[in-house]
Amino acid sequence: MNTPLRPEICIRHYAQARCVGELRGSRGDLGGGRWEAGLSVHGVRAGVEEWAIEARVAEGTAIACAAGVCVTIAHWSREQFLLLPGVIYAGNRFESRKVGYPPKGQVEDCRLDVATHIADIPRLEIGEGDSRIQLLAGALAVPAVAAFDPVTRTAWIVLAPANAGPFELGFDFRENDARTVAELRITAPGVREQRYRAMDTAAESPDRAADFAAGEAVGFRLEVHRFPCAEIQGLFDRLFELRPAVAPEPGPPTDFREGFALVEGHYNREFWWEEAGLYRTGFVSAWSNNPYQTGWCGGIIAEYALLAGGARGITRERCLRHLGHALTAGIAPSGLFFGKYADDAWRSDCFFDEGAMAWRQPLTLTRRQGDALLYALRAFAVLEQAGDDPVPTEWVAGARRVAETLVAIWDRFGQFGQWLHQFTGAVVVGNSASGAIIPAALCAAERRFGGGEFLRVALAAAGDYYERFTRCGVTTGGPADALQCPDSESSYALVESYVELHEATGDALWLARAGEAARQFATWVMAYDYRFPADSLFGRLGIRTTGAVIANAQNGHAAPGICTHSGLGLVKLSRATGDPRYAELAQAIAGVLAQCISTAARPMVAKDGQVLPPGWINERINTTDWDDNLGGVFHGPCWCEVSLLLSVAELPESLLPADATQARLCAALAILQ
Is the pLDDT at 360 greater than 70, yes or no? Answer: no
Percent of the chain with pLDDT over 90: 87
Distance (Å, rounded) from C-alpha 656 to C-alpha 650? 10
Residues 216 and 262 in one domain: no
Give the chain's mean pLDDT.
94
Instruction: Give the Cα separation of 346 and 351 in Å (integer).
Output: 14
Banded pLDDT at 258 (limits 50, 70, 90): confident
Domain boundary among 177, 210, 226: 226
d(CA 206, CA 582): 38
In angstroms, rounded to a whole number, what is the distance separating the alpha carbons of residues 218 and 584? Answer: 34
Q: What angle (nearest 5°) sits at the alpha carbon of residue 31, between those of residues 29 and 35?
A: 40
Q: What is the pLDDT of residues 162-171, one digit of tens each?
A: 999 999 999 9
Alpha-carbon distance of 119 to 554, in angstroms, equals 7
Are both 595 and 514 inside the same structural domain?
A: yes
* Residues above pLDDT 70, as percent of the chain: 93
Strand, coil or helix: what is 192?
coil
Same domain, 497 and 620: yes
Local structure of 182: helix, strand or coil: strand
Give the residue from 226, 246, 275 where a domain finishes: 226
- The 3-state secondary structure of 443-455 reads HHHHHHHCCCHHH
Kindly state whether residues 216 and 261 are assigned to the same domain.
Answer: no
Side by side, the strands of the sheet bearing 345-347 are 292-293, 340-342, 345-347
Is pLDDT at 516 greater than 50 in this prediction?
yes
Position 31 in a domain: yes
Angle between helix 508-521 and 232-246 (nearest 10)? 60
- Does residue 102 lie within any of the structural domains? no
Residue 139 has pLDDT above 80, yes or no: yes
Q: pLDDT by residue (tens digit) across 624-669?
A: 999 999 999 999 999 999 999 999 999 986 565 443 333 443 444 4
Looking at residue 290, its pLDDT comes to 75
As a dihedral over the C-alpha atoms of residue 420, residue 424, residue 425, residue 431, rounded to 10 degrees, the angle is -40
478, 550 Cβ separation under 8 angstroms = no
pLDDT of residue 102: 85
d(CA 37, CA 18): 22
Residue 73 near residue 183, CB atoms below 8 Å: yes
Residues 6+ apart with CB under 8 A from 635: 606, 608, 610, 612
Q: Are residues 222 and 263 in the same domain?
A: no
Query: In this model, does residue 605 exceed pLDDT 90?
Result: yes
pLDDT grade for 12, boundaries at 50, 70 and 90: very high
**Would 100 be classed as within a structural domain?**
no
Of 170, 204, 226, the last residue of a domain is 226
Instruction: Tell me how far CA of residue 348 lies from CA of 337, 373, 380, in angstroms.
Output: 9, 17, 25
Q: Is residue 294 part of a domain?
A: yes
pLDDT tens per residue across span 211-228: 999 999 999 999 999 999
Residue 670: pLDDT band by 50, 70, 90 thresholds?
very low
The structure's pTM equals 0.95
Query: Residue 119 — pLDDT band, cuts 50, 70, 90?
Result: very high
Taking CA atoms, 573 is separated from 86, 111, 133, 494, 517, in Å, by 22, 36, 35, 12, 11
Q: Is the pLDDT of residue 298 over 60?
A: yes
Are the C-beta atoms of 665 and 604 separated by less than 8 Å?
A: no
Mean pLDDT of 1-12: 86
In a domain, 335, yes or no: yes
Q: Residue 352 — very low, low, confident or very high, per pLDDT cuts 50/70/90?
A: low
3-state secondary structure of 617: strand
Residue 457 belongs to a domain with what CATH number? 1.50.10.10
Q: Tens of pLDDT along 143-166?
A: 999 999 999 999 999 999 999 999
Is the pLDDT score of 361 beyond 50?
yes
CB count within 10 Å of CB 45 equals 7
- The predicted-structure confidence for 120-134, as pLDDT tens digits, reads as follows 999 999 999 999 999
Most trustworthy range by pLDDT among 278-292, 381-395, 615-629: 615-629
Question: Nearest-5° angle of CA 293, CA 294, CA 300?
Answer: 120
pLDDT of residue 659: 37
- For residue 81, give its domain range: 5-87+122-226
pLDDT digits (tens, 9 = 90+) for 453-484: 999 999 999 999 999 999 999 999 999 999 99
196 and 272 in a single domain? The answer is no
Reference 257, options 670, 658, 673, 568; nearest CA is 658
Question: Is-contact 153 108, C-beta < 8 A?
Answer: no
316 shares its domain with 198: no
Q: Same domain, yes or no, for 411 and 475?
A: yes
The alpha-helical segments, DSSP class H, found in 427-507 are: 438-449, 453-465, 488-505
The reply to whether 427 and 543 lie within a common domain is yes
pLDDT reported for residue 278: 98
pLDDT of residue 55: 98
> Do 206 and 291 fall into the same domain?
no
Q: Give the pLDDT confidence of 26-62 residue by residue, as tens digits.
A: 999 999 999 999 999 999 999 999 999 999 999 999 9
Backbone angles phi, psi at 68, to 5 degrees: 175, -140
278, 280, 281, 285: CA torsion to nearest 10: 140
Residue at 112 is within a domain = no
Task: Answer yes or no: is 198 within a domain.
Answer: yes
Residue 656 CA: distances (Å) to CA of 260, 618, 659 = 12, 21, 6
Is 343 found in the same domain as 220? Answer: no
Q: In whole angstroms, give the CA distance from residue 168 to residue 188.
A: 6
- 3-class secondary structure, 18: strand
354 assigned to some structural domain: yes
Query: How many domains, the chain?
Result: 2
**Same structural domain for residues 262 and 398?**
yes
